[in-house]
Chains A and B, each alone.
Chain A
Amino acid sequence: MFSLAGAGFTSRLILGTGGASSLHALEQAIIASGTQLVTVALRRIDATEHGLLDLLARLEVRLLPNTAGCYTAADAVRTARLAREAFETDWIKLEVIGDERTRLPDAVELVRAASQLLDDGFVVLPYTTDDPVLARRLADLGCAAVMPAGAPIGSGLGISNPHHIRLIREAVSCPVILDAGIGTASDAALAMELGCDAVMLATAVTRAADPTAMALAMRHAVTAGHLAAQAGRIPRRDYALASTSDSGLVTWT
């Protein structure tokens, strides 16, 4: 059971809804992924396709609104307040990006926004860099989890700095959710093996050639990685350690 801000989830996969070719494709992917928590963005009513909320309600998944597209703390705080009104949840996936090209977090604005939203009673889940010190600062403020980027959003590059993800795991006691950069199932499994509590991804599924099949792959990868992390891997060694005993080996002369 994965516990986040007092809520329990049996799935450790959080799915973003961005990039799906249709609501039908999204529905199939959500079902295959087994996710219980999905992110949504907030946009002007005339620029959105209706039916997303009905779909998510029917699938009985919990909504996690995000502040995608915000560049300043002020914009992110405003968006979070609007999301709270729209979706009747205090949970917010806080994204404050600093750069259009990489869409990586702006650390200064992120900390500022997180602080204001925590004061305002939000459950803050910040999308952050893979900097262990920044992650600790966000956790110390009272964020319910930290969500370090494996690599830029939508890049599919996987986890650029696995060592830092491991250091983040050591640096904070709140859940660590690997967010962004996942390209394929092995990336998600690695995140879990590094000690992450959950994985958040969107593009890797929604823009895969077969989103439903990739959603199923991610579901198994997250489970496999989590089990492996719990099981305790063998130490790496330079040379072979025979798995079969030489005792009783026949010597043919």
Chain B
Amino acid sequence: MITVLFNDAPRQLATGETVAELLQELVLPPRGIAVAVNGEVVRRADWASHALSDGDRVDVLTASQGG
């Protein structure tokens, strides 16, 4: 197991879990999602191959009323 900081809260993941696998575990709307790992954008095309590491900071964002 590894522990990542998901939206500021610790979360246990399987070792080698990818961004795509994490997103599958979450209940998410079908569109309008962006992911940053350690402050860097992970492109949609890389979600399936980007494996998370222990201690990673993962932020998952979507649309919010604003502007």
A202 within 8 A of B: yes
CA distance A18 to B63 in the complex (A): 11
B67 touches A66 (CB 8 A): yes
Residue ID in chain A nearest B40 by CB atoms: A78
A85 touches B34 (CB 8 A): yes
CA distance A66 to B61 in the complex (A): 13
Residue ID in chain A nearest B31 by CB atoms: A53
Residue ID in chain A nearest B44 by CB atoms: A85
Q: Interface size bucket, B side?
A: 20 to 34
Among the 9-residue stretches A44-52, A105-113, A191-199, A230-238, the one with 4 or more Cβ atoms under 8 Å from chain B is A44-52
Q: Between A and B, how many residue pairs show CB distances below 8 Å?
A: 97
Residue ID in chain B nearest A67 by CB atoms: B67
B28 within 8 A of A: yes
A50 touches B7 (CB 8 A): no
Using Cβ atoms and an 8 Å threshold, which residues of chain A touch B29?
Answer: 50-51, 53-54
**Within B25-67, which residues are at the interface with A (CB < 8 Å)?**
26, 28-29, 31-36, 39, 41, 43-44, 59-67
Using Cβ atoms and an 8 Å threshold, which residues of chain B touch A87?
Answer: 32, 63
A32 within 8 A of B: no
Given contacts A52-B63, A85-B44, A86-B61, contact A44 B31 (CB under 8 A): no
A53 touches B60 (CB 8 A): no
Q: Which residues of A contact B (CB under 8 A)?
A: 16-20, 26, 39-54, 56, 63-66, 68, 78, 81-83, 85-87, 93, 95, 200, 202
Q: Which 4 A-B pairs have the closest CB atoms?
A: A41-B66, A39-B67, A86-B34, A43-B64
26 contacts between A and B (CB under 8 A): A18-B65, A18-B67, A26-B65, A40-B64, A40-B65, A40-B66, A41-B63, A41-B66, A41-B67, A42-B62, A43-B62, A43-B66, A44-B7, A44-B59, A48-B64, A49-B64, A50-B29, A53-B29, A53-B32, A66-B67, A78-B41, A82-B41, A85-B41, A86-B32, A86-B34, A202-B67
Q: Which residues of B contact A (CB under 8 A)?
A: 7-8, 26, 28-29, 31-36, 39, 41, 43-44, 59-67
